[in-house]
Amino acid sequence: MDDITSQDDEKGRELATEKGRKQGQQEERAREKGKGGLGTGIKIVVSLIVLAIILAVAAFLTMSVSVTNVSPGGSLPFTTTYGVSFAEGQAITIGNTHISVLSYQNELISDIDGNRQKLVMGEDRVISERRAVITTLGVITLVDTNFQINLKYKGDRDNRAYFDMAVHTSRQVPDLLLRKLLPPEIDARPI
């Protein structure tokens, strides 16, 4: 009888050991899944950040400006000023306005859309009011504003005409977007 009891005890221990082993394996698998879930969460967050960066770059690279004529008279309460220089004799386009300048004996002849005017140092030249629509990704409108540009002639050096340029807008436009309107040839620097 002792043999039978001892065999039963041994079988009971083996069953308990096997049951404990299975339970330990299940707990280990559950811990691995928990770690895998955390790793998956991090992968999802990293993927979303990378996607957001790609979209931001695509939005910046596809930014475009459309400029049209409007009838003047609207309120233009916001002003951003730049110091700019134009290369003499080179046609420059701001929006849909074509500008060229040429200096002669302390005077500047400015040609804006075919309208020529002589300027001396300190005189102003106004580019009439226009409408600018800045879009990205082909369909998303970032800014829709009217603007007018005032140029004040400051003199010339090294075949470049220098101006203070004030850009008046109907709404506040971030400098990054406003610079999309200005061509790189004019070397605009905020004042």
The per-residue pLDDT for 166 is 95
Q: What percent of the chain has pLDDT over 90?
A: 29
Asked if 136 and 169 touch (Cβ cutoff 8 Å), the reply is no
If one counts the domains in the chain, the total is 2
The per-residue pLDDT for 16 is 78
Query: Greater confidence, 39 or 89?
Result: 89
Using alpha carbons, select from 103, 108, 89, 92 the residue that is nearest to residue 184: 92
If asked whether residues 72 and 109 sit together in one domain, one would say yes
If asked whether residues 69 and 131 sit together in one domain, one would say yes
If asked whether residues 73 and 154 sit together in one domain, one would say yes
If asked whether residues 146 and 55 sit together in one domain, one would say no
The per-residue pLDDT for 18 is 83
Q: Which domain holds residue 164?
A: 65-190
3-state secondary structure labels for all residues of 80-110: EEEEEEEECCCCEEECCEEEEEEEECCEEEE
If asked whether residues 144 and 121 sit together in one domain, one would say yes
The per-residue pLDDT for 52 is 95
The per-residue pLDDT for 97 is 86
If asked whether residues 57 and 136 sit together in one domain, one would say no
The arithmetic mean of pLDDT across residues 118-146, rounded, is 90
Is the pLDDT at 3 greater than 70? The verdict is no
Asked if 80 and 190 touch (Cβ cutoff 8 Å), the reply is yes
3-state secondary structure of 132: strand
If asked whether residues 104 and 146 sit together in one domain, one would say yes
Give the angle subtended at the CA of 162 by the CAs of 98 and 123, to the nearest 5°.
85
The per-residue pLDDT for 47 is 93
The per-residue pLDDT for 83 is 93
Give the angle subtended at the CA of 140 by the CAs of 173 and 168, to the nearest 5°.
20
The DSSP call for residue 57 is H
Using CA atoms, how far residue 22 sits from 10, 17, 32, 87, 185, in Å, is 18, 9, 15, 83, 75
If asked whether residues 175 and 100 sit together in one domain, one would say yes
Using CA atoms, how far residue 81 sits from 97, 118, 179, in Å, is 18, 23, 12
Is residue 118 classed exposed, middle or buried when 0-12, 13-18 and 19+ CB atoms within 10 A define those classes? exposed
If asked whether residues 70 and 39 sit together in one domain, one would say no
If asked whether residues 42 and 86 sit together in one domain, one would say no
Q: What is the pLDDT of residues 56-81, one digit of tens each?
A: 999 888 888 888 888 777 789 999 99
If asked whether residues 115 and 179 sit together in one domain, one would say yes
Per-position b or e across 20-55, b if 16+ CB within 10 A of its CB: eeeeeeeeeeeeeeeeeeeeeeeeeeeeeeeeeeee
Query: Greater confidence, 71 or 126?
Result: 126
Query: Greater confidence, 12 or 138?
Result: 138
Is the pLDDT at 155 greater than 70? The verdict is yes
Is the pLDDT at 1 greater than 70? The verdict is no
The arithmetic mean of pLDDT across residues 149-159, rounded, is 89
Q: What is the pLDDT of residues 22-38, one digit of tens each?
A: 887 888 777 766 555 55
Is the pLDDT at 105 greater than 80? The verdict is no
The per-residue pLDDT for 146 is 92
Is the pLDDT at 5 greater than 70? The verdict is no
